[in-house]
Amino acid sequence: MRTFERHPASLPVEFRANEKQLQVQKLKNISAGGLCLVAEECIPDGSLIHISIPNLKHSFSEKCKVVWCNQDGESFHIGVMFENEQTTRRLCMIEQVCHIEDYRSGIFVNEGRDLSAAEASEEWIEIRDDHFLKI
């Protein structure tokens, strides 16, 4: 059983390790404990890296510690945890942005509706609130 629920995400992420700039293919998932990144090379456990998510309205940039790295075909899944607790609060906001963007793209693919970010946010909040009221 996992300690933290993981939420799928597919945002492009950039990170630096040992002063070397690396481009991550994507962010795989987010949890309250950290992130899982997909990269072209493995970074050793214990390495400190700097992560930034440039495509968010409010940019995200933090130091992280690599806690694991597993090969998956020709790419690597890298698990990182944050260095400070305040990041977890910011991460909750990023999780919601990811959910809204996933919802927005799903609506476009499934229904052909091209929602603005604000429209998708309003619908997502309504759906989420309805879901929690039923629990």
Q: What is the length of the chain?
A: 135
Highest mean pLDDT among 26-30, 53-57, 92-96, 101-105: 101-105
Residues 6+ positions from 14 with CB-CB distance below 8 Å: 21, 22, 23, 24, 51, 52, 53, 54
Residue with tokens 């694991």: 68
What average pLDDT does this structure show over 92-98?
Answer: 71
Handedness of CA 24, 30, 31, 32 (dihedral sign): positive
Instruction: Break the chain into its structural domains and give their ranges.
Output: 7-84, 87-134
Q: Supply the DSSP symbol for 56.
A: S
- Give the global pTM: 0.64
DSSP-assigned beta bridge partners for residue 66 = 80
Per-residue confidence band for 17, with pLDDT thresholds at 50, 70 and 90: confident
Superfamily name with CATH number, domain 7-84: predicted glycosyltransferase like domains (2.40.10.220)
Binning pLDDT at 50, 70 and 90, where does residue 3 land? low
Given this model, what pLDDT does residue 2 score? Answer: 45
